[in-house]
Amino acid sequence: MKVAIVHDFLLKLGGAERVVKVLMEMFPEAPVFTLLYDEKKVGHVFPKERVRTSFLQKSIFRKKRRLLVHKMPRAIEELDFSEFDLVISSSTTYSHGIITGIDTMHLCYCHSPMRYAWDWCNEYQKENNIRGFKKFLYAPLMKYLREWDIAACDRPDSYMANSRNVQKRISKYYRQESEIVYPPVDTERFKVIQAKHSDYFLIVSTLTPYKRVDLAVQLFNKLGRKLVIIGDGPHRQYLQDIACDNIDFLGFKDDEVVKEYLENCRAFIFPGEEDFGMAPVEAMAAGKPVLAFGKGGCTESVVSGKTGEFFFEENVESMEDGLARLLYNERFYRPRTIARHAENFSREVFEKKIKQKIRKLKREHANIGAHGSNITLQKV
């Protein structure tokens, strides 16, 4: 069976790209199709030899992809999958909209319907300061994308959602059923250190406004406790400008450095709303409790009182209350119990469910073919 993988963009290494990496390892002969590719940033994970790009890769605007949004639906539709038996799309925006032949199965792993066209539309405008003439151009573009998205959502043969949170969006916007398959976390690479922790709290995140790292900075400014922030992004300079000396910004670090910090932190802080959130699961795999915003995917991975605590309002007071509960309950947390809970989201579980889904899809596809072969033309 010839397999292809398709992902919207290969421009950074985030949670969605970790899913693609695992799919590549599951299907070592499968090429990876994408709209845009940055070899310098991701080539060590996604080698050029396995990547096939769209016509947008040759655009002079490829480094300013917002200027290419209106062309992306056509670009994804022009990718050619005629030689493949199975295509697995990893979709955050456009990949579910590929066009495949009648004999090609299409399994979509959906990280979310495109958020800036649907439930995040107004927030996206505010976050990117889209107003005036920009808003005049933005409104018809979003209308076009929503119309395309509705037309494209019927193209996969089957959907998998990366969380209940995303499953609800697929149902609401696409009117499609989906099976929940949580993203693969490499839980086995973490050690549970039973000895006394280093007295710092940790954030590992892309530094963009919607991650709400600013809440954590404000809280730890107030408390004076040690906070370490690993990650980079357009919001970093602003966060550094408002942070006190008890907060360290380490920038981007490779997986081994992140692993060391996770294994030695006191607790992990996750202040934003995510569709799933792999970093909190990695922290739990290291036996560390998590303080998370009580909305989105974290409500499916963190268990209050057992593996961490929640705060429920996006303000410093609510976050401080959650941290106080976490510190009070610290004596009751059991690192081994936390780590065992994280195994529910392991790579092994992910791979098993993907394989089961493919076998089911093949049976359904074979049944359709068998029934189709028995159809005869009748005179009207």
**Measured distance CA(123)–CA(142) in Å, rounded:** 13
Q: Is pLDDT at 132 greater than 80 in this prediction?
A: no
| Residue at 288: amino acid letter | K
pLDDT exceeds cutoff 70 at 139: yes
Closest CA to 345 of 293, 305, 307: 307
Tens digit of each residue's pLDDT (9 = 90 or more) over 94-127: 999 999 999 999 999 999 999 888 887 777 677 7
pLDDT value of residue 359: 96
pLDDT of residue 372 exceeding 70? no
Instruction: Indicate the pLDDT class of residue 133, thresholds 50, 70 and 90.
Output: low
**Strand-by-strand arrangement of the 308-311 sheet:** 247-251, 227-230, 201-204, 267-270, 290-293, 308-311
Instruction: Return the CATH number of 188-343, one of 3.20.20.220, 3.50.50.60, 3.40.50.10210, 3.40.50.2000.
Output: 3.40.50.2000
User: Where in the chain are the domains?
Assistant: 3-184+347-373, 188-343
Domains 3-184+347-373 and 188-343 share a fold: yes
Q: Which string of b and e fits 278-303 if b means at least 16 CB within 10 Å? A: bbbbbbbbbbbbbbbbbbbbbbbbbb
Residue 377 has pLDDT above 60, yes or no: no
Query: What are 27-55's pLDDT values in tens digits?
Result: 999 999 999 999 999 999 999 999 999 99
In the chain, pLDDT over 90 holds for what percent of residues? 83
Q: What is the pLDDT of residue 239?
A: 98
CATH of segment(s) 3-184+347-373: 3.40.50
- From 372, 364, 282, select the one nearest 105 (Cα to Cα): 364
Is 54:75 a contact under the CB 8 Å cutoff? yes
| pLDDT of 119 | 80
Mean pLDDT (whole number) for 311-325: 97
pLDDT in tens, 257-299: 999 999 999 999 999 999 999 999 999 999 999 999 999 999 9
Encode pLDDT of 190-243 as tens digits.
999 876 778 999 999 999 998 999 999 999 999 999 999 999 999 999 999 999
State the average pLDDT for the chain. 92
pLDDT above 80: residue 373:
no
